[in-house]
Amino acid sequence: MTALEKKPTALRVDWGGVLTNGLDHMLTNWTGQENIDLDIYYKVFNEWLGPEVEKELRINPIHALEKGEMSVPDFEVELAHALLTLGNIKVNPTGLLDRMFQFFEHAPDMNGLVHRARKKGIKTALLSNSWGNNYPRHGWDDMFDEVIISGEVGMRKPDAEIYHHTLELLKVKPNESVFVDDLAHNIKGAAELGMIGVLHVDYDSTKMELEAIFNEKLD
């Protein structure tokens, strides 16, 4: 990490995979319950999110869901249809995402880290791409200065507009903001705008990196 000209003042974090258990663990448990072949699930999402998708004229279901442009029931039907088409996997679309979100588990260590950062005077924000889910918001008033949910603002990561929106709410410049996410393409999008990105792998490595960036103990 290169020396920073100015100490950052803001910390933004993702929810799923950062403040919860890892996405791979969650998906393994959920697809097991639904009898979905995980490789087929990933094939569906690779097709929807692959490099050619931006050239297509059809609506990308994931983008539409995250921006609040598609309802959860419609997305569930799309996903069930894709699983059937690509893998001959039959699932009940009704409540499919609710059943998936049951496998997200609270990560107390990372939530505690954000709490402690805010107590140190660091501005904090949640920046999450929503899948129409209900977030467990208890305690968030003490944890975050700002909460930005993609479906509520009509923007999504890694598009530049949602990063700029968050910076404006926190009243900080890009190089004053640190962003923690478990997905590399979201970190890349933030870094391209001048923000400091931290790819979350586990609590210990993220804590160590944030302490170095903020020059602050976060115990």
Q: Is 65 left (phi over 0), alpha (psi -120 to 50) or beta?
A: alpha
Both 17 and 39 in one domain: the answer is no
Any domain includes 5: no
166 near 148, Cβ under 8 Å? Answer: yes
195 and 207 in a common domain: yes
Q: How many CB atoms lie within 10 A of CB 185?
A: 10
pLDDT classification of 49: cutoffs 50, 70, 90: confident
Does any domain span residue 1?
no
In the three-class reduction of DSSP (H, G, I as helix; E, B as strand; rest coil), residue 12 is classed as strand
How many domains does the chain divide into?
2
pLDDT digits (tens, 9 = 90+) for 127-165: 999 998 889 998 999 999 999 999 999 999 999 999 999
User: Does some domain include residue 2?
Assistant: no
3-state class of 197 per DSSP? strand
| 169, two tokens | 């709410």
117, 11 in Cβ contact below 8 A? yes
Range of the domain at 135: 10-21+105-214
138 shares its domain with 205 = yes
Mean pLDDT, the chain, integer: 91
Whether 177 and 69 map to the same domain: the answer is no
Residues 110 and 191 in one domain: yes
Is residue 143 domain-shared with residue 188, that is, in the same domain?
A: yes
Final residue before a domain boundary, out of 83, 101, 119: 101
- Compute and round to an integer the Cα radius of gyration of the chain: 18
Same domain, 187 and 129: yes
Q: For 107-136, how does the pLDDT look when each residue is reduced to its tens digit (9 = 90+)?
A: 999 999 999 999 999 999 999 999 988 899
pLDDT given at position 163: 98
Could you tell me the pTM of the whole model?
0.88
The torsion region of residue 35 among left (phi > 0), alpha (psi -120 to 50) and beta comes to left
Report DSSP state, residue 177.
E
